[in-house]
């Protein structure tokens, strides 16, 4: 058995970045003694043209990663004592950025069985201090999607002034019914979409992400950007990545194949998992610590996390076919 290390713990792109990105990085590397463009309008123009519809560059704000976009949102939204609603288990950066602002985290846990958001309980948790509601869709660590009709029903009932953060960094991988959140933005709703170049574009090391929202919300939430806030390399790489959607399609096809393979094999092994629409799968093995140790012994790093209902789980990124096979072989040994 191969023991070549496989890091399946951070949901990276197993194909790496597009060749167009590597070229852009090499080109810009020769000019790093120069400051980058003073603003990021070239990137925002490319994003508007990529997403199309009636979006303009003014619907976008960029940051050094989706995590920084989340920090911008928290900084602009929360005064001390204000509240943000999260649905646990979820992406920990919501809680971190809220804590930096001394905001109060209000948890409305996901359904313990299905890992779906509970719209009624989210609405019931809103108070006059609520500023942001975080909807991680597909959810991390669950991979589960909040369907379009449920998301719209939630937006219809959220009071004006409370902003919904639609963290959709895994949107490219979704094959199921999924909200058209851009349509909601164009309809004037208080929603901010969070996207990242770390996942489908395979650029986690470059740190680049962006938000999409109504231009007045972009002005409000994007205002903490510093001059020259994005490196010339990151900006050029972002523009280059957008030109190579074929690379994203290849990534997505590989991931969906891996997802199907893992689902079939996990069913065969009788290991509980949640139906994922992202580039990872959350499993609840009978003996999670032993499964983690077995995977580690085979050189495979995965992420131990608390799943819905606080069950001990492992989140496993979907890798190349040989890596997915090794995951299943290791889990099979553990369940044998």
The residue among 316, 229, 320 whose CA lies nearest residue 280 is 316
Tell me the C-alpha distance between 59 and 219, whole Å.
Answer: 9
Identity of the residue, 86 or 330, whose beta carbon is nearer to ligand PLP in the bound complex: 86
Which residues of the shown chain bind ligand PLP in the complex (CB under 6 A)?
A: 11, 65-67, 91, 136, 140, 167, 169, 196, 198, 204, 209
Q: How far is the CB of 95 from ligand PLP (least distance, A)?
A: 12
Identity of the residue, 78 or 173, whose beta carbon is nearer to ligand PLP in the bound complex: 173
Taking the CA of residue 305 as centre, how many other CA atoms within 13 Å lie in the half-sphere pointing to its CB? 23
Identity of the residue, 138 or 294, whose beta carbon is nearer to ligand PLP in the bound complex: 138
Q: How far is the CB of 3 from ligand PLP (least distance, A)?
A: 26
> Could you tell me which residues come within 8 angstroms of residue 246 by beta carbon, excluding any fewer than 6 positions away?
none
Q: Are 303 and 295 in contact (CB under 8 A)?
A: no
Identity of the residue, 169 or 330, whose beta carbon is nearer to ligand PLP in the bound complex: 169
Q: How far is the CB of 184 from ligand PLP (least distance, A)?
A: 19
Q: How far is the CB of 198 from ligand PLP (least distance, A)?
A: 3
Q: How far is the CB of 164 from ligand PLP (least distance, A)?
A: 15
H or E element that contains 94: helix 93-100
Q: How far is the CB of 290 from ligand PLP (least distance, A)?
A: 26
3-state helix, strand, coil in the chain (%, to 5): 40, 15, 40
Identity of the residue, 140 or 181, whose beta carbon is nearer to ligand PLP in the bound complex: 140
Identity of the residue, 140 or 276, whose beta carbon is nearer to ligand PLP in the bound complex: 140
| Pair of tokens at residue 262 | 């893992």
Tell me the C-alpha distance between 62 and 236, whole Å.
Answer: 13
Q: How far is the CB of 145 from ligand PLP (least distance, A)?
A: 13
Q: Are strands 83-86 and 130-136 parallel, antiparallel or unpaired?
A: parallel
Identity of the residue, 69 or 266, whose beta carbon is nearer to ligand PLP in the bound complex: 69
Rg of the chain over all Cα atoms, to the nearest angstrom: 20
> Could you tell me which residues come within 8 angstroms of residue 10 by beta carbon, excluding any fewer than 6 positions away?
204, 303, 317
Identity of the residue, 188 or 205, whose beta carbon is nearer to ligand PLP in the bound complex: 205
Q: How far is the CB of 91 from ligand PLP (least distance, A)?
A: 4
The SS3 call for residue 110 is: coil
Q: 215: burial class by Cβ within 10 Å (0-12, 13-18, 19+)?
A: middle
Taking the CA of residue 96 as centre, how many other CA atoms within 13 Å lie in the half-sphere pointing to its CB? 10
How far from chain centre, in Å, is Cα 322? 25
């Amino acid at each position: 058995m191969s023991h070549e290390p496989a890091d399946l713990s951070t949901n990276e792109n197993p194909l790496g970045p597009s060749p167009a990105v590597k070229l852009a990085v090499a080109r810009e590397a020769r000019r790093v003694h120069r400051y980058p463009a003073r603003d990021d309008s070239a990137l925002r123009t490319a994003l508007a043209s990529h997403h199309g519809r009636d979006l303009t560059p003014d619907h976008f704000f960029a940051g050094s990663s989706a995590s920084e976009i989340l920090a911008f949102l928290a900084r602009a939204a929360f005064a001390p004592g204000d509240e943000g609603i999260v649905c646990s288990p979820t992406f920990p950066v919501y809680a971190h950025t809220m804590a930096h602002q001394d905001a109060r985290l209000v948890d409305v846990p996901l359904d313990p069985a299905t890992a779906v958001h509970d719209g009624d309980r989210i609405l019931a948790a809103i108070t006059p201090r609520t500023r942001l509601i975080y909807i991680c869709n597909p959810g991390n660590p669950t991979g589960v999607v909040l369907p379009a009709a449920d998301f719209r029903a939630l937006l219809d009932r959220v009071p004006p002034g409370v902003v919904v953060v639609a963290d959709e960094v895994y949107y490219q991988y979704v094959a199921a019914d999924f909200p058209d959140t851009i349509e909601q933005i164009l309809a004037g709703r208080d929603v901010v979409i969070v996207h990242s170049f770390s996942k489908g574009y395979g650029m986690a090391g470059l740190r680049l992400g962006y938000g999409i929202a109504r231009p007045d919300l972009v002005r409000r939430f994007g205002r903490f950007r510093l001059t020259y806030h994005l490196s010339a390399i990151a900006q050029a790489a972002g523009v280059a990545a957008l030109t190579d959607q074929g690379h994203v399609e290849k990534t997505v096809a590989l991931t969906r194949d891996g997802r199907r393979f893992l689902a079939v094999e996990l069913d065969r092994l009788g290991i509980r998992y949640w139906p994922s629409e992202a580039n990872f799968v959350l499993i609840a093995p009978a003996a999670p610590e032993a499964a983690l140790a077995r995977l580690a012994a085979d050189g495979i790093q995965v992420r131990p996390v608390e799943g819905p209902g606080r069950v001990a789980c492992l989140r496993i990124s979907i890798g190349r076919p040989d890596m997915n096979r090794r995951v299943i072989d290791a889990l099979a040994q553990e369940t044998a």
